[in-house]
Amino acid sequence: MTNTFKGKTVLIIEDDADMIEAVKLILQKTNYKILVAHNPEDGFDLAKKDKPDLIILDVMFGNGGESQGFQYAIKMKTDKTIAPIPILMMTSVNAEVSGYKFSDQTDGEYLPVDDFVDKPVQPEDLLNRVQKLLSQKTSIWVDYPNKKSV
């Protein structure tokens, strides 16, 4: 597989060390530069400082299973320096959190992320979504809170 996005920077914001390593292994094989933040606060600061080409953001953080990823997606899209960066949200809430009725088909219109992927993510699916978002170059939510641009 040829990679026309060699050298692009991807920021992974995830608190699960095993998931970080799995995603890093998949992406490093295609020569992406990987940045990691273990919580959304550090991820926000790192995104502002390094301005990656793509952000991969988890939904749930901490032992209490707080859905901070949702709040940080909104915070990132209201910050004009980070807003143009596409966000790929990784979620296992549908599989792991019973009663949590999140759906990218119904709720995706209100959550300013560019794409969703369910955990555990398949390597080929992750690579395809990353490449799609990198080719998009700018988030469809760059003008949040206005409707997404198409």
What is d(CA 22, CA 20) in angstroms, rounded to the nearest whole number?
Answer: 5
The domain covering 16-136 belongs, at the CATH homologous superfamily level, to Response regulator (3.40.50.2300)
pLDDT tens per residue, range 58-80: 988 877 667 888 899 999 999 99
Looking up tokens 């799609």 gives: 132
Q: What is the mean pLDDT of residues 97-115?
A: 60
Give domain limits for the chain.
16-136
H/E segment holding residue 87 = strand 87-91
What is the average per-residue pLDDT within 84-96? 79
Instruction: Find the helix packing angle between 40-50 and 68-77, rounded to 10°.
Output: 20
| Confidence at residue 142, expressed as pLDDT on a 0 to 100 scale | 92
What 3-state DSSP class applies to 20?
A: helix
For residues 111-139, average pLDDT: 92
**Average pLDDT, integer, range 101-122:** 72
Q: Which residue has the higher pLDDT, 44 or 2?
A: 44
Judged against a pLDDT cut of 90, whether residue 104 lies above it is answered with: no
The distance from CA 100 to its chain's CA centroid, rounded to whole angstroms, is 20
